[in-house]
């Protein structure tokens, strides 16, 4: 049985699609556009998610061929993963920002290349060969959940009319380098994907072949989003956000505290792995959890390097951080 489908505004539906991760669901959006339907995000390609979409189409009495466009907010597998399968089923065009499409090509279209780059990066920051290899294997294993790959068109428009609404298209970086958000000024509503979440904080991570300073970009992006008049923000995970500015301020405070905590644990020359072991409860971490913990630690460390508060040094093939 499909979980509760919510009509959040006239002809706009919030669809919970299951994911095999602790957050349980990714929230995708269906917008009725005259006799056609437009999708925003798709879910991970596995049976429970495919079944959820088929049941959703049945409940809303949508013929598959009525789906004309699919917008993927960013390349992460829980948002991008079913776009190829849905394109095959519906014939819909799949749109992404140019930045996100380039990342999708790097990460998913070229088997194993990004996984090996991640493993090498992790080794250089103090992770053991065994754990780094497990992280790479986990990344390679995830690839099956984004196949088949879609044919993607680059979204260049800055405004779209969908479901009788004028949407401003916003590229917001940090969680991903070119993530799409959709803003309806008239009804003060924004589809924010994973840029702002309620209860939990979006993962801000440093990855190979992506931004060198994602946390700096995220801070800039949140500052930009605070300039929008938003009554309701529709996220990709968790509950709808009715206190948008307050929630952004809470997220900023979280990162301020995390940065201070990292500075507090830096004693002499310290690897990112050693820092992660002190700021996260890592005892029972899976390789998947380790990958994100390390990447988030690196994002914070590199931000502190950029502000001049700490220093990074390379000794042999390993990087170390210390207070300036």
Q: Which of 97, 316, 301 is nearest to 206 (CA)?
A: 301
pLDDT, position 2: 61
pLDDT, position 48: 98
Angle at alpha carbon of residue 5, lines to 178 and 195, rounded to 5°? 20
CATH for 264-290+293-323, options being 1.10.357.10, 1.10.10.10, 1.10.260.40, 3.30.70.930:
1.10.10.10
What are the structural domain ranges in the chain? 6-262, 264-290+293-323
State residue 11 phi and psi, 5-degree precision: 70, 20
State residue 23 phi and psi, 5-degree precision: -75, -10
pLDDT in tens, the chain (324 residues): 566 899 999 999 999 999 998 889 999 999 999 999 999 999 999 999 999 999 999 999 999 999 999 999 999 999 999 999 999 999 999 999 999 999 999 999 988 899 999 999 999 999 999 999 999 999 999 999 999 999 999 999 999 999 999 999 999 999 999 999 999 999 999 999 999 999 999 999 999 999 999 999 999 999 999 999 999 999 999 999 999 999 999 999 999 999 999 999 998 999 999 999 999 999 899 999 999 999 999 999 999 999 999 999 999 999 999 998
Q: How many CB atoms lie within 10 A of CB 149?
A: 18
Output the CA torsion sign for 74, 78, 83, 86: negative
* Burial group, residue 303, by CB count within 10 angstroms (0-12, 13-18, 19+): buried
Output the CA torsion sign for 192, 259, 220, 186: positive
pLDDT, position 112: 85
**β-strands 179-184, 36-40 pairing:** unpaired
The hierarchical CATH code for the domain 6-262 is 3.60.15.10
CA 1 to chain centre: 27
pTM above 0.85, yes or no: yes
- Adjacency order of strands within the sheet including 36-40: 6-9, 12-18, 25-33, 36-40, 67-71, 93-96, 152-154
The tokens for 65 are 């061929």
């Amino acid at each position: 049985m499909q979980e509760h489908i919510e009509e959040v505004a006239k002809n706009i539906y919030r669809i919970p699609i299951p994911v095999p991760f602790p957050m349980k669901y990714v929230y995708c959006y269906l917008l009725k556009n005259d006799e056609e339907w437009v999708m925003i995000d798709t879910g991970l390609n596995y049976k429970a998610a495919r079944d959820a979409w088929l049941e959703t189409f049945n409940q809303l009495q949508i013929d598959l061929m009525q789906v004309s466009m699919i917008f993927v907010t960013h390349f992460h597998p829980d948002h991008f993963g079913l776009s190829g399968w849905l394109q095959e089923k519906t014939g819909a065009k799949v749109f992404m920002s140019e930045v996100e499409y380039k990342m999708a090509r790097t990460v998913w279209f070229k088997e194993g290349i990004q996984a090996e780059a991640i493993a090498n990066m992790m080794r250089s920051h103090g992770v053991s060969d065994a754990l780094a290899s497990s992280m790479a294997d986990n990344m390679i294993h995830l690839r099956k959940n984004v196949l088949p790959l879609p044919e993607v068109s680059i979204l260049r428009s800055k405004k779209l009319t969908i479901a009788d609404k004028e949407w401003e298209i916003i590229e917001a970086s940090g969680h991903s380098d070119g993530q799409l958000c959709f803003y309806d000024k008239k009804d003060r509503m924004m589809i924010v994907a994973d840029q702002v979440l309620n209860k939990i904080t979006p993962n801000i991570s440093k990855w190979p072949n992506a931004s060198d300073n994602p946390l700096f970009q995220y801070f800039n992006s949140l500052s930009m989003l605070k300039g929008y008049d938003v009554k309701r923000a529709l996220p990709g995970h968790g509950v709808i956000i009715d206190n948008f500015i307050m929630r952004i301020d809470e997220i900023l405070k979280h990162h301020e505290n995390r940065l201070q905590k990292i500075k507090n644990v830096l004693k002499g020359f310290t690897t990112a792995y050693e820092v992660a072991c002190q700021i996260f409860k890592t005892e029972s971490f899976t390789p998947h959890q380790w990958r994100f913990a390390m990447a988030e630690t690196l994002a914070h460390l590199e931000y502190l390097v950029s502000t001049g508060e700490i220093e990074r040094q390379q000794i042999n093939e390993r990087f170390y951080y210390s207070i300036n």
